[in-house]
Chains A and B, each alone.
Chain A
Amino acid sequence: MTKYTPIIGLEVHVELKTNSKMFCSCSADYFGKEPNSHTCPVCLGLPGALPVPNKTAIDWCIKISLALNCKINEFSKFDRKNYFYPDLAKGYQISQYDLPFGYDGYIELSNGKRIGITRVHMEEDTGKLSHQELHGGKVSLIDFNRSGVPLVEIVTEPHFHDALEVKEYLQKLQQIVRYLDVSNADMDKGEMRLEPNISLSKLSNFNPATDGKISLEKLPKYKVEVKNINSFKFVEKAVNFEIKRQEEILESSKLPAQETRGWDENRQKTFSQRSKEDAHDYRYFPEPDIPPIITTKKQISTLLESVPELADKKAARFEQDFSLNSYDAEILTREKSLADFFEEAVKKNQESGIRNQGNIDPKTIANFIINKKINISQITPTSLISQIASSKQIATIDEKELTKLIEDVIKEQPKAVTDYKNGKEASLMFLLGQVMKKLGKKVDTSIIKDSLQKKLKA
């Protein structure tokens, strides 16, 4: 394929959905609000105003760290990152430098590869600039509603080797913060922002599948960072574009420039934004307005206990406990609310099962939820169970009749049976229709379908 191995790392910013901002009591719910209506002396950086850290945001940052298998710095602190930009009210961003809340964790991809998490740290968002025409002149307006909204930055090791790994990691990360209920991580609203850094390594005998981690000295001499991408699809495209672009440069015996680039969705390419020469010296130093943050082992274990069972574990348990296949288990656990609904339904069913002796198989419940695309906001687990029960009742009572009808149809329609066995899927639906016709009742077709398939395979 190619003699270069892409070396990719990721920085992801996740906006927390705390009630108030990171360092003041202004509402953090800024999206779509009247500009500068959620501001105060602190987030406007007025003279004399001081930051007071949001305890909940810190707890959530630590929770994210724990969910990402990170170690926690029991002694942590905030630092100032000094740079000038009109949307940065104080002339510095309060962030964390050498002692982030979380460090040294990982996310495991479906192929078993672990993507190392270097650090998880807490910082504040900036205001938002918009460049407009006003009264015939060009102006830049600043909305400080977003200024000071809590941000968690999650930085990975350069462990990715293709865009698909990046995408899966991002989906998992988004799922985790949603499971933790600390961020909506809605890409469209900028609640999750992605910055891949990409370079190509000319590694001989390098097998990305087995050599997941490469030592630092083997890293390429340059790094291209693509800033603030707001969709998984764009990140995939940007990574693939960069791999191709850099390969071409390397093939012409040049070294790609160390720089920051942006993704232009219209032109489907990355473009240079800032070169190495323009790189900031952020002059980090400990934030003197905020004392160090001490997190005790006890506090950490309390936070760890509050981390819910995450999707991967939950799916594995569903497979184990409810005999679901991995596909169904994965669908049911994509969102925590759906997984909870399913489990509640299973529980309700068990409770009703004791009374009615009509126990429904969890797999049936899972199928029902998935196949019927149940909208869990419109039905309770209990009424779902009675729905399934009533549809199941018909099937149970008529099981012998159903078997007979299926056998009749198979005899009557030898051509369709042969077609199906030769791989014509549509014939199954025809046969199903014939059975339904004979049955003359409304029943759960999935049950007929299952029985029909079983008979046809026999």
Chain B
Amino acid sequence: MDIKQLTIAQTLQDLRDKKYSSTELTQAYLKRIKQVEPKIHAFITVTEEEALKHAEEAGKKRSKGEELPLLGIPIALKDLYVTQGIKTTAASKVLENFIPPYDGTVVQKLKAAGAVIIGKLNSDAWAHGGSGENSDFGPTKNPWNTGYVPGGSSSGSGASVAADMTLVAMGTDTGGSVRLPASFCNVVGLKPTYGRVSRYGIISMASSLDTVGHLTKTVEDNALVLNITAGHDEHDATTPPVPVKNYTKNLYKGVQGMKIGIPKEYFSEGIDPEIKTLIENALKILEKQGAELVTLSLPHTKYANPAYYIIMPAEVSSNLARYDGIRFGHDRSQFGEEAKRRIMLGTYALSSGYYDAYYKKAMEVRTLIKNDFDKALENVDVIIAPVSPTPPWKLGAKVNDPLAMYLMDIFTITANLVGVPGLSIPIGFVDGLPVGMQIFGPHFSEDVLYQVGHTYEQENPLYQKKPNL
């Protein structure tokens, strides 16, 4: 088997056809991890033993004729996913030795669907960052050029899929943390609608912005995983009982007659001209497939970044309060620079006398941005925008300039403030480094995003391109 060529759909077919067993498959992935991990550092923990055990169980189930949606599929989890009996660090020294007593909802669902967890992935500590460099366990490298960042915070997630160390990597997206690494690593990344996927058992960053997404090689693979993870959860009060769609159903419907909105604010200043050209080319492909392009305005976009950098640290400062070292983990002295920075910013923004000027004002801005999107999405089916204003940057290039790093979120954070879903798909390369674009739609329109993304992917199957490792 050539694991570089595998997709979930293909692998399931091969397993059914007994081309290889789930144990052989898992062994192949573990071998690949051993081979490329020293160069990439995508993992914090590789769960070899458990993975082989679960692969064997999956094989037994299959031989008994049991068919589960992800039976035997290797999957890796960002280390913010709480896993029973498996060390969960949030890539922070504070939780260096923390072994949780429970599985989160999504982990339970993935296990129940037959997935084989092969490891826990590196990321920026507490998901704070856009490059992966804030990990307390060392940065992950971009498989396309190991001198460059893979995007973050789900850095290990993007890199592990791009380097074929797993078929699926689960991530979290609070301000672009799934979409940015997807874009930087030439993989498909979904930030689902806020509340579509349960956050129970995912270490919280900023609760009103956090979403639980995943990265895959193809759009179809991505839809297959959302089929498992989506849904109301009685343990997460922010998951409404909206019926779960079959996300693979409309993949081949095309975009004929669809209206695609192009927000002018996302293509003006600051965007790398080569990225702009790549998106324009991608839009031409969709236009050729029958979509109608509509230029529109999201006028409050420029306020998104300041609002985000008030709301997010405010919630972070509160969410990190439980890490006091009393019941588990190390004490607060182990927090890294970025976590401390956000705790201080957030504490300040919520302090008596400043609340109205900062947090409250930011929430008002958030409403305005939401109104922008609601209004725009009345007239179009989806909105297409760049993911990042620049291609991946060199490791270390921005570590001493937190503000420059924060500005890289400018195109992704709006979806988190508004709660709409966003899908990042690969559209090309700049100097050998991947570039993606994102597709937004109304709340709970993931199926439509997949439909558009898949249509494009059929015309330009970039997932077939592989990094040299």
Contact = CB atoms under 8 A, between A and B. Distances in A.
Contacts of A89: 322, 327
A89 B327 CA distance: 8
A47 B98 contact: yes
Interface stretch (A48-56, A259-267, A307-315, A441-449): A48-56
A207 to B, nearest CB: 37
B383 interface: no
Interface residues of B, number: 43
B322 A45 contact: yes
A91 B204 CA distance: 14
* Most interface-central of A45, A53, A290 (chain B CB within 10 A): A45
A82 interface: yes
Interface string A259-285: 000000000000000000000010111
A52 B101 contact: no
A288 interface: yes
Interface string B96-125: 001011101000000000000000000000
* Most interface-central of A46, A84, A281, A283 (chain B CB within 10 A): A283
A89 B322 CA distance: 6
Interface stretch (B159-167, B176-184, B351-359): B351-359
Contacts of A44: 327
A289 B322 CA distance: 15
Contacts of A281: 351-352
A358 interface: no
A291 B239 CA distance: 10
Given A41-B102, A291-B237, A47 B321 contact: no
B223 interface: no
A142 interface: yes
A281 B100 CA distance: 32
Interface in A38-84: 41, 44-53, 80, 82, 84
A48 B314 contact: no
A92 interface: yes
Interface string A15-50: 000000000000000000000000001001111111
A90 interface: yes
A84 B321 contact: yes
B95 A47 contact: yes
A302 B399 CA distance: 59
A283 B318 contact: yes
Contacts of B359: 285
B236 A47 contact: no
A82 B237 contact: no
Contact of B238 (A49, A82, A84, A291): A291
* Most interface-central of A47, A51, A86, A289 (chain B CB within 10 A): A47
Contacts of B328: 46-47
Interface stretch (B194-202, B386-394, B439-447): B194-202
A289 B207 contact: yes
B237 A51 contact: yes
A289 B321 contact: no
A53 B238 CA distance: 11
Nearest to B321: A91
B315 interface: yes
Contact of A48 (B82, B320, B355): B82
A346 to B, nearest CB: 47
B347 A283 contact: yes
Contact of A46 (B101, B238, B350): B101
Interface string B185-229: 000000000000001111110111000000000000000000000
A86 B237 CA distance: 26
Interface string B144-175: 00000000000000000000000000000000
B234 interface: yes
A48 B202 contact: yes
Contacts of B104: 48
B42 interface: no
B321 A82 contact: yes
A82 B326 contact: no
A91 B200 contact: no
Nearest to B320: A91
Given A47-B203, A283-B350, A91 B324 contact: yes
A47 B207 contact: no
B76 interface: no
A299 B357 CA distance: 36
A283 B81 CA distance: 28
Contact of A288 (B201, B207, B355): B207
A325 B314 CA distance: 61
A288 B237 CA distance: 10
B200 A49 contact: yes
A281 B208 CA distance: 22
Interface in A139-169: 142
A48 B100 contact: yes
A48 B322 contact: no
A288 B208 contact: yes
B235 interface: yes
A52 B352 contact: no
B237 A47 contact: no
A21 to B, nearest CB: 14
Nearest to B236: A50
Nearest to B352: A281
Contacts of B88: 47
Nearest to B88: A47
Interface string B311-350: 0001101101111101110000000000000000001001
B327 A45 contact: yes
B90 interface: yes
A283 B102 contact: no
A51 B323 CA distance: 17
Nearest to B80: A48
Contacts of A288: 206-208, 238, 315
B98 A285 contact: no
Contacts of A142: 326
A91 B343 CA distance: 13
Contacts of A80: 318
A15 to B, nearest CB: 22
A396 to B, nearest CB: 64
A51 B98 CA distance: 21
B324 A52 contact: no
Interface in A96-137: none
Interface in A188-237: none
A76 B465 CA distance: 53
Contacts of B326: 86, 142
B444 to A, nearest CB: 16
12 contacts: A46-B82, A46-B100, A46-B328, A47-B88, A47-B100, A47-B322, A48-B203, A91-B322, A283-B318, A285-B318, A285-B359, A291-B237
* 8 A-B pairs with the lowest CB-CB distances in the bound complex, closest first: A91-B321, A288-B208, A288-B207, A283-B350, A48-B82, A48-B201, A45-B322, A47-B203
Given A82-B321, A86-B326, 19 more contacts: A41-B201, A47-B90, A48-B82, A48-B100, A48-B200, A48-B202, A50-B237, A52-B234, A80-B318, A82-B350, A86-B324, A90-B322, A91-B320, A91-B321, A92-B318, A281-B352, A283-B317, A283-B318, A289-B236
Interface of B: 80-82, 88, 90, 95, 98, 100-102, 104, 199-204, 206-208, 234-238, 314-315, 317-318, 320-324, 326-328, 347, 350-352, 355, 359
